[in-house]
Amino acid sequence: AQKITQTQPGMFVQEKEAVTLDCTYDTSDQSYGLFWYKQPSSGEMIFLIYQGSYDEQNATEGRYSLNFQKARKSANLVISASQLGDSAMYFCAMREGRTGNQFYFGTGTSLTVIP
């Protein structure tokens, strides 16, 4: 089974609107971390936001927030007030406490912000 599933290959959003990128995960660990990364066309991986499995509140970092629904095993990324510079690939990732350093990545979502 896939550890991380991103079902949206591509998404479009109007500039200044909000957009939600979906991510579901699969793990039997009680301790795990969920991460979102942005990859612009230059190829670098930019860390956006982190949610721990024991965190009771949804993580927020500026215009990024993570809608964490533990029972549904989902960790959707919400980008508010989209900007043209948000156009990029977005990857959801998970790190399990049991397996240590290894990260599992989803297939990614290509976001395009329309002016």
Partner 1 sequence: GAVVSQHPSWVICKSGTSVKIECRSLDFQATTMFWYRQFPKQSLMLMATSNEGSKATYEQGVEKDKFLINHASLTLSTLTVTSAHPEDSSFYICSASPPSRDANTEAFFGQGTRLTVV
Which residues of the chain form contacts with partner 1 (CB under 8 A)? 29, 31-33, 35, 37, 43-45, 47, 50, 52-53, 89, 91, 93, 95-97, 100-103, 105-108, 110
Q: Provide, rounded to whole angstroms, the least separation between the CB of residue 52 and partner 1.
A: 5
Which residue, 76 or 109, is less far from partner 1 as judged by CB? Answer: 109
Smallest gap from residue 79 Cβ to partner 1 (A) = 18
Q: Exposed e or buried b for every residue in 27-61, given b needs 16+ CB within 10 A?
A: beeeebbbbbbbeeeeeeeeebbebebeeeeebee
| Nearer to partner 1 among residue 17 and residue 112 (C-beta) | 112
φ and ψ at residue 86, rounded to 5 degrees: -80, -10
Q: How many residues does the chain have?
A: 115
**Residue nearer to partner 1 on the CB measure, 14 or 31:** 31
Nearer to partner 1 by C-beta: 74 or 110? 110
Question: Within a 10 A sphere around the Cβ of 76, how many other Cβ atoms?
Answer: 19
84: helix, strand or coil: helix
Query: What is the smallest separation between the CB atom of 22 and partner 1, expressed in angstroms?
Result: 15
